[in-house]
Copies of this chain bind each other. A is one copy, B any other.
Amino acid sequence: MTGSAAPCTIAVDVMGSDLGPSEFIRGLLYARKELKLDSNIVLVGKEPLIKRFLKVKHAINELGNVRIHHASEVVDMHDKPVQAMRKKKDASMFQAIHLAKEGEVDAVVSCGNTGALMAAGTIRLRPLEGIDRPALATIIPTKQNACVLIDVGANPECSPQNLLHNAILGANYARSALDLEKPRVALLTIGTEDGKGTSLINETHENLKAIDGIINYQGLIEGFQIFEGEVDVIVCDGFIGNILLKSSEALFSFVGNTIKDELRRNAKRMLGAALAKSAFSDMRNRLSPDHHAGAPLLGLKGNLLKSHGSSNYVAIANAIRIASEIVRHDLLDTIQSDILKANSLLLELSESTPAE
């Protein structure tokens, strides 16, 4: 509905967060003041509740272009996606997606139930032409710059074509979210020698080499290289991506808690920990940055961003910022164009290769 120049409009589902709607108001204030966000905002959720929080935070004047779209229901974490879509038609998440479908907003941000968001996004907004399944992208820290990991759970059973599309989606996302012109794309496997991976990986690898003009394909990488920062986009299926992301978050917190535990064992260690305290918070900020908190569901005819259920105001503000970046970069158009180019290139190749 809007060109790249004018401020875009973003629907924010304020009901799905663990910290409650007030964290969204705080996040929006932060986005306006600190991130200089000029997008129009539609707050979707229970109107009386939202109005009360706006009043409490004295936010109404500072927030600028904000309106409320009332939705009487909430999808909770235990709702089954398809059931929720049938029974809670007036849920804030579904209403926000409806606004995107109708062209009233350019993007949706929600912290709610991931399964419901993926199901409703896919069913209501529909995949772009030439794409079967959307993919969920996230940004992970590395020794160098941050890196896109895609798919982290939307599609656990990928075909070679799905994986190839994930690569295109991830590259386009890295262009807008990481501001890179030619992001380096790699395919995750378990041994970079020829023929070492699975047949899925080997076929995808060949196809990715064939579309190298469309994305900047660097080849295969292994698990031990994930945090090296030598590539900007790591492509995998949603099964491995989800396990990788969740196990990494779990390991990070496990290591952190083990250090805490060891530092509390005696007075000398406790004194040391007190002196070095700021090092630990700086480490945490470097490795779990709130400014990379949104995970877009890519490949749909609409911009949909999932933010973590436990997102704080900084994370929420940055999810809204990323949503506006995606709109500004015309992500839907560039993805659509790359997908159609890649599909026809692969079709030409398969037609020119004589059957064995």
Residues of A within 8 A of B (CB): 80, 115, 142-143, 153, 156-157, 188-191, 193, 197-199, 222-228, 238-240, 242-252, 254-255, 257-259, 262-263, 265, 268-269, 271-280, 282-283, 286-287
Contact = CB atoms under 8 A, between A and B. Distances in A.
Contact of A156 (B198, B254, B262, B268): B198
A217 B242 CA distance: 23
Nearest to A228: B250
Contact of A251 (B193, B252, B268, B274): B252
Contacts of A239: 189-190, 197-198, 240
A134 B270 CA distance: 48
Which label, helix, strand, loop or mixed, suits the secondary structure of the A interface? helix
B188 A243 contact: yes
Given A223-B247, A272-B273, 11 more contacts: A143-B254, A223-B244, A223-B250, A224-B250, A248-B248, A251-B252, A262-B282, A268-B276, A269-B275, A271-B272, A271-B275
12 contacts: A156-B190, A157-B198, A223-B244, A223-B246, A227-B254, A228-B250, A240-B240, A248-B251, A263-B279, A265-B279, A268-B275, A272-B276
A258 B286 CA distance: 8
Contact of A269 (B199, B222, B278): B278
Nearest to A279: B262
Nearest to A262: B279
Given A262-B279, A282-B262, A245 B223 contact: yes
Contacts of A244: 223, 243-244, 247
A143 to B, nearest CB: 6
Contact of A279 (B197, B242, B248, B269): B269
Contacts of A245: 223
A200 to B, nearest CB: 8
Given A199-B157, A275-B268, A275-B269, A225 B243 contact: no
Contacts of A188: 243
A255 B263 CA distance: 16
A258 B283 contact: yes
Contacts of A265: 279, 282
A247 B250 contact: no
A250 B262 contact: no
A208 B152 CA distance: 26
Given A226-B250, A239-B190, A276 B273 contact: yes
B254 A255 contact: no
Given A251-B252, A265-B279, A156 B197 contact: yes
Contacts of A275: 268-269, 271-272, 275
A187 to B, nearest CB: 12
B287 A258 contact: yes
Nearest to A238: B190
Contacts of A225: 250
Contacts of A286: 258, 262
Contacts of A255: 252, 255, 283, 287
